[in-house]
A = this chain, B = another copy of it.
Amino acid sequence: MRRDEIPTPALLLDLDRFERNLARMAAHVRAAGKALRPHAKTHRCPEIARRQVAAGALGVACAKLGEAEVMAGAGVRGLLVTTEVVAPGAIARLVRLAGEAPDTMVVVDHPDNVRALGAAAAGAGVTLNALVDVHVGARRTGVEPGEPALALGRLVAGQRGLRLRGLQGYAGHCAHVTGWDARRQASRAAMAPLMETRAAFEKAGLPVEIVAGGSTGTFDIDVELDGLTELQSGSYCVMDLEYQRIGGRGGEALTDFEMALTVVATVVSTPGPDRAMVDAGLKAFSTDRPFPPEPVERPGITYGFAGDEHGRLAITDPSRAPRLGERIEFFPPHCDPTINLYDRIHVVRGDRVEAIWEIAARGRSD
């Protein structure tokens, strides 16, 4: 199939750019003496996970158990489930998963959950690897750093069915701070309590062999932390407008990684001089960011959402008015939830479709 034969709207991955992104991150963590367990919530695609592992990653982080089940089923190992697994049915599934993929890890932030996981694992005769999830300011999950984290760590260490491996601290509120210096300052401040907790664990004789954190926004910031052992950055492999715009060490755009992900749409209506309509609306791009998709190397138009299946192109240069049937590619504002709208990704090199990869864990937020 040629690139211009793909039915639209469709998700495209530029293979050259993607491969360079993987190679750059691999070189970066190697040089920094850190490990990488990239977040598969970004792509939910086993083939991408396999390529990340082939490039040196320890495995992948998964936001949810459902994702981890798909990754394990596809042969990916070194899984870390980064959200607490609480419901009784989910705990049973996690224990089953740990039976099949024994190096799987899960995070914990509550004593009741620690006891429930410990009992389920011991009952099934498996050992479940656990990290204490430490709150570092994102106001999501995580036990408070310091004494509360230490108490929870001791509880984990005392469970026969659990094996404490260390800590996780995800400073999601720092990932998109604009400007590298400001972001560095924010992340250093957020991660300091995690590092102090790490020291307290060490002093108490609790394991800290794994201390995980970091985002694509802080990939070259969090590696400065001595105690951090591995990065969880996810978006770097495909990138999106939001991460591009936070700025990098070098300037106003984050250019360390390349924009490898696009959505291709077709102009299906040219009703007047003010607008043209494409067949990609809010079922083709996620709408969680305050800015719209951006046309790729296609001046003269701007994109606006116009319903489930419609995007409205405002024609800013009448000499470049879109023609009926024209194909236009767009960079998505936010990669993770946009990829989650598609069942597959068309992998292109130039004008050729080299492969179609299943986004096998799409929709697996359970």
Contacts and interface: CB of A to CB of B under 8 A. Distances in A.
Interface string A246-258: 0000000000000
A243 B167 CA distance: 45
Nearest to A148: B271
A5 B267 CA distance: 45
Contacts of A287: 286-288, 337
Contact of A308 (B269, B312, B337): B337
A141 B269 contact: yes
B308 A41 contact: yes
A287 to B, nearest CB: 4
A203 interface: no
- Majority SS at the chain A contact face: loop
A283 B63 CA distance: 11
Looking at A135, A139, A281, the one whose CB has the most chain B CB atoms below 10 A away is: A139
Contacts of A271: 109, 135, 140-144
B283 A324 contact: no
B83 A309 contact: yes
Interface stretch (A122-130, A178-186, A339-347): A339-347
Contact of A365 (B139, B279, B286, B362): B279
Given A41-B308, A286-B282, A366 B7 contact: yes
A72 interface: no
Contacts of A343: 363
A64 B365 CA distance: 26
B140 A310 contact: yes
A365 B283 contact: yes
A353 interface: no
B286 A8 contact: no
Given A267-B86, A269-B110, A340-B283, A366 B309 contact: no
A325 B86 contact: yes
A142 B143 CA distance: 56
Interface of A: 5, 7-10, 41, 63-64, 66, 83-90, 93, 109-110, 112-113, 135, 139-144, 172, 266-272, 275, 277, 279-284, 286-288, 305-310, 312, 324-325, 327, 336-337, 340-343, 362-363, 365-366
Given A141-B277, A287-B337, 10 more contacts: A7-B89, A7-B366, A63-B309, A86-B269, A86-B325, A88-B325, A90-B266, A140-B269, A340-B341, A341-B341
13 contacts: A41-B308, A63-B308, A64-B279, A83-B268, A83-B279, A86-B267, A86-B325, A88-B325, A109-B269, A112-B324, A139-B306, A141-B268, A287-B287
